[in-house]
């Protein structure tokens, strides 16, 4: 377990059966504006949690705090994350001057040959076998995001942080990526924190959905729909309505 | 099509074109079918574009200029003492090559330019890395280099002659001083303008500092460096021309200076052509290098 984030964050001893992620009393502020306000959150090992919230609700700030990317942001609180954390950004963030395989194995330790073999396997897993030597520019948006998933997976993360990873993709590609992510999750079982603004995406993918509002958890909802989730299922629709209510979306806006 | 008909009747479209008219160039096409892409041989150009591309566009202007030169010399309109005829220049070049003068002087000039370029590029890259990758380096180096940049290189020549004499070291140092500025500026700019998103990525995949420099910083700064190299190569030839006319005893510039004292216009022109060819091929070489090294970048150029 590694403890980080914020100069004021305390280092704490970790018990053996601890959850994958433990956040306690997390405060992050830009000036006077408290983006995260005394937030508590836990993720069990291998648990898939989606964070929903309007823009400015603090969901990206939370993810960046967990990723240790919020240098220079004032705050207090305690954040515990596993040693192996991977991040998938909204943009695929591939180095344009490195070929696909080099992007996947970027910074991967160990023997070069072993790393490259693992990279090839990860690419095959996301359906991009044979594209190892392509330049990122030659790939479509969906393919680039697959490479970015492969880059995350090849590190065998205990925690996968995904910040609206499919937000920039078209609707059809997004559906295919949902299926891919579910498959990959089923096989590797990392804890996943998915930040999204897409309610259906959250319900389709997550075990638990957390709605953030003004830096606090407004609603938590366990998704008990089993493996195959169908948006036409009335239970699915009920959860959607509940979550949209929590997000302050009027029902008239949805049906219109 | 009905809309068009209505418009015609209303008189807003001056040239009447009825819906029964077949699509242009496609007689017998099914009526009512909208005309597809124009079936002409050549693709329709952009209406507001520059027109059709001119074949061998790069050479046209040069060919016209040479044509005027030939015609002027042949008709006697151009005085031979002012500008030698093209054929005189060609035979002179042949003579100079036969005597070995041209190769010898060219060799000396190329060595000077190459040495100056090598030192200048090395210095520019090292300084750019030192000031681009550390705040202390930036504080120490960037200011003086900006000051140096503001002083025209050739204004330093009197001082450089006092310090280093009139021999080869002075010449190479002058060229290097001119070269390192564009290399420094563009490499430094390349280093500093690397997208911060890649820095974030490097943190999340836990690159060490040397790995970060090797995988992210250097390749990210390469386009800037190569742009600087193009300026540097041109600059090295510019400095070469000047230092070769100061107390040189060999080199293309020396050959031209000597020709001036004897009034040999044709030799001066041979020298100018050599400088021109040198400059052009050096730039072409760097552009080729650019294309190779930046294969990942799909720009408008390609």
- pLDDT of A256 higher than 70: no
pLDDT at B298: 66
Cβ–Cβ gap A106/B205 under 8 Å:
yes
What is residue A72's predicted lDDT score, i.e. its pLDDT? 79
Interface probe, candidates A73, A85, A97, A108, chain B, greatest B C-beta count within 10 A: A97
Highest mean pLDDT among A12-21, A242-251, B86-95: B86-95
Residue B44: pLDDT band with limits 50, 70, 90: low
Residue B198 Cα, gap to closest chain A Cα (Å):
7
pLDDT value of position B83: 87
Residue B154: predicted pLDDT: 83
Mean pLDDT of B116-123: 96
Give the residue on B whose Cα is nearest the Cα of A100. B296
Mean pLDDT confidence for B265-269 = 91
CATH architecture of A46-58+157-255: 3-Layer(aba) Sandwich (3.40)
Cβ neighbours of A44 (radius 10 Å): 14
Check B296 against A136: CB less than 8 A apart. Answer: yes
Contact flag B296-A97 (C-beta cutoff 8 Å): yes
Q: Which of B193, B195, B204, B214 to mutate to test the interface with A (most CBs of A within 10 A)?
A: B204
The answer to whether A85 and A161 have CB atoms below 8 angstroms apart is: yes
How high is the mean pLDDT of chain A? 86
Distance from CA of A47 to the nearest CA of B (A): 21
Q: What is the pLDDT of residues A61-120, one digit of tens each?
A: 999 999 988 887 888 888 888 989 999 999 999 999 999 999 999 988 888 899 999 999
> What pLDDT band is residue B57 in, cutting at 50, 70 and 90?
confident
Tell me the pLDDT tens digit for each residue of A48-70. 999 998 888 888 899 999 998 88
User: Given this model, what pLDDT does residue B301 score?
Assistant: 47
Q: How confident is the model at residue A152 (pLDDT cuts 50, 70, 90)?
A: very high
Q: Is B72 left (phi over 0), alpha (psi -120 to 50) or beta?
A: alpha
Q: Which residue of A has its CA nearest to B216?
A: A95
Tell me the two tokens of residue A77: 């609180």
A60 touching B (Cβ < 8 Å): no
Inter-chain touch A93–B201, beta carbons under 8 Å: yes
* Interface contact flag, B297 A89, Cβ < 8 Å: no
CA distance A147 to chain B (A): 14
Q: Give the pLDDT of residue A6.
A: 43
Query: Could you tell me the pLDDT band of residue A129, with boundaries at 50, 70 and 90?
Result: very high
Beta carbons of A85 and B222 less than 8 Å apart? no
Q: Are A147 and A95 in contact (CB under 8 A)?
A: no
Residue B9 has pLDDT above 90, yes or no: no
How far from B110 is each of A107, B181, B277, CA to CA, in Å?
Answer: 43, 20, 12
A152-155 long-range contacts (CB < 8 A, ≥24 apart) are: A152/A86, A152/A87, A152/A88, A153/A86, A153/A122, A153/A125, A153/A126, A153/A184, A153/A188, A154/A104, A154/A105, A154/A108, A154/A118, A154/A119, A154/A121, A154/A122, A155/A84, A155/A86, A155/A108, A155/B205
For the stretch A172-192, pLDDT in tens is 899 999 999 999 999 989 999
Mean pLDDT of the region B24-43: 52
Query: Is A168 part of the contact surface with chain B (CB cutoff 8 Å)?
Result: no
Which chain A residues have a beta carbon less than 8 Å from that of B295? Answer: 135
> Inter-chain contact B201–A85, Cβ cutoff 8 Å?
no
Q: Which two tokens stand for residue B161?
A: 């002659």
- Is the Cβ of A69 closer than 8 Å to some Cβ of chain B? yes
Asked whether the beta carbons of B167 and B246 are under 8 A apart, the reply is no
Q: CB–CB of B221/B191 below 8 Å?
A: yes
For B219-246, how does the pLDDT look when each residue is reduced to its tens digit (9 = 90+)? 999 999 999 999 999 999 989 988 888 7
CATH 1.10.3720.10 fits B86-293, yes or no: yes
pLDDT band at B41 (very low <50, low <70, confident <90, very high): low
Whether A64 and chain B come into contact, CB under 8 Å, resolves to no
Asked if A135 lies within 8 A of B295 by C-beta distance, the reply is yes
**Min Cα–Cα distance to chain B from A244, Å:** 32
End-to-end CA distance of chain B: 41
Question: Angle at the Cα of A72 (from A69 to A78), degrees rounded to 5?
Answer: 65
Any A CB within 8 A of B164 CB = no
Where residue B42 falls among pLDDT bands split at 50, 70, 90? Answer: low
CA of B32 vs chain A CAs: smallest distance (Å): 35
Which candidate from B203, B206, B298 shows the least CB-CB separation from A137?
B298
Across the interface, of B205, B207, B219, the residue whose CB is closest to A97 is: B219
Query: What average pLDDT does chain B have?
Result: 83
Q: What is the ipTM of this complex?
A: 0.84
Kindly state the average pLDDT of the residues A33-43: 88
pLDDT of B144 reads 92
pLDDT for B33? 53
Closest-CA residue of chain B to A91: B197
Answer whether A98 touches B (CB < 8 Å). yes
Mean pLDDT of A231-243: 85
Q: Where along chain A do its domains lie?
A: 46-58+157-255
The partner residue sitting opposite B197, judged by closest CB among A93, A135, A155, is A93
Return the higher-pLDDT residue of B59 and A117. A117
Is the minimum CB–CB distance between B218 and chain A shorter than 8 Å?
Answer: no
- Enumerate the residues of chain A whose CB falls inside 8 A of the CB of residue B197: 89, 91, 93
**B292 touches A: beta carbon within 8 Å:** no
d(CA B198, CA B212): 10
Q: Is the pLDDT of residue B13 over 50?
A: no
Q: Quick one: pLDDT at residue B141?
A: 93
Alpha helices in chain A (DSSP H): 59-67, 100-104, 112-125, 141-153, 171-188, 199-205, 234-246, 251-255
Say whether pLDDT at B174 is over 90.
yes
pLDDT (average), residues B213-221? 92
Q: Which of A155, A156, A157, A150 is nearest to A104 (CA)?
A: A150
């Amino acid at each position: 377990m590694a403890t980080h984030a914020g100069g004021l964050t305390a280092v704490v001893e970790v018990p053996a059966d601890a959850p994958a992620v433990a956040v306690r009393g997390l405060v992050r502020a830009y000036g006077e504006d408290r983006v995260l306000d005394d937030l508590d959150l836990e993720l069990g090992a291998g648990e898939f949690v989606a964070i929903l919230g309007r823009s400015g609700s603090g969901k990206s700030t939370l993810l960046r705090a967990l990723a240790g990317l919020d240098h220079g942001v004032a705050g207090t609180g305690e954040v515990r994350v596993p040693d192996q954390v991977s991040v998938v950004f909204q943009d695929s963030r591939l180095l344009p001057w490195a070929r696909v395989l080099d992007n996947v194995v970027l910074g991967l330790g160990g023997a070069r040959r072993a790393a490259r073999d693992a990279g090839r396997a990860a690419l095959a897993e996301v359906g991009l076998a044979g594209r190892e030597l392509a330049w990122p520019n030659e790939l479509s948006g969906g393919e680039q995001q697959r490479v970015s998933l492969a880059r995350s997976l090849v590190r065998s993360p205990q925690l996968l942080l995904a910040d609206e990873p499919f937000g920039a993709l078209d609707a059809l590609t997004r559906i295919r990526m949902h299926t891919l992510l579910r498959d990959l999750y089923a096989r590797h079982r990392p804890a996943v924190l998915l930040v999204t603004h897409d309610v259906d995406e959250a319900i389709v993918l997550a075990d638990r959905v957390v709605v953030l509002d003004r830096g606090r958890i407004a609603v938590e909802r366990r998704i008990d729909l089993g493996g195959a989730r169908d948006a036409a299922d009335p239970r699915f629709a009920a959860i959607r309505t509940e979550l949209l209510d929590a997000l302050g979306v009027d029902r008239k806006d949805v049906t219109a | 099509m009905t809309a068009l008909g209505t418009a015609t009747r209303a008189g807003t479209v001056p040239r009447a074109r009825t819906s029964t008219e077949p699509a242009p160039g496609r007689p017998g096409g099914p009526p009512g079918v909208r005309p597809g892409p124009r079936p002409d041989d050549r693709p329709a150009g952009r209406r507001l574009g520059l027109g059709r591309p001119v074949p061998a566009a790069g050479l046209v202007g040069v060919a016209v200029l040479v044509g005027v030169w030939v015609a002027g010399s042949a008709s006697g309109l151009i005085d031979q003492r002012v500008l030698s005829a093209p054929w005189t220049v060609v035979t002179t070049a042949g003579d100079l090559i036969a005597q070995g003068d041209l190769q010898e002087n060219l060799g000396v000039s190329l060595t000077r330019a190459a040495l100056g370029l090598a030192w200048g590029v090395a210095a520019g890259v090292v300084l750019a890395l030192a000031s681009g990758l550390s705040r202390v380096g930036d504080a120490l180096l960037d200011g003086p280099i900006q000051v140096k940049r503001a002083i025209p290189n050739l204004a330093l020549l009197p001082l450089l002659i006092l310090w280093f004499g009139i021999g080869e070291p002075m010449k190479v140092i002058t060229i290097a001083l001119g070269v390192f500025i564009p290399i420094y500026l563009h490499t430094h700019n390349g280093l500093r303008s690397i997208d911060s998103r890649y820095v974030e990525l490097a943190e999340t995949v836990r690159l060490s500092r040397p790995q970060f420099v090797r995988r992210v910083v250097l390749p990210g700064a390469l386009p800037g460096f190569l742009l600087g190299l193009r300026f540097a190569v041109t600059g090295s030839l510019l400095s070469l021309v000047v230092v070769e006319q100061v107390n040189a005893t060999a080199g293309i510039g020396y050959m031209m200076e000597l020709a001036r004292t004897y009034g040999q216009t044709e030799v001066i022109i041979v020298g100018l052509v050599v400088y021109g060819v040198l400059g052009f091929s050096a730039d072409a070489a760097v552009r080729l290098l650019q294309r190779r090294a930046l294969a990942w970048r799909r720009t408008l150029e390609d």
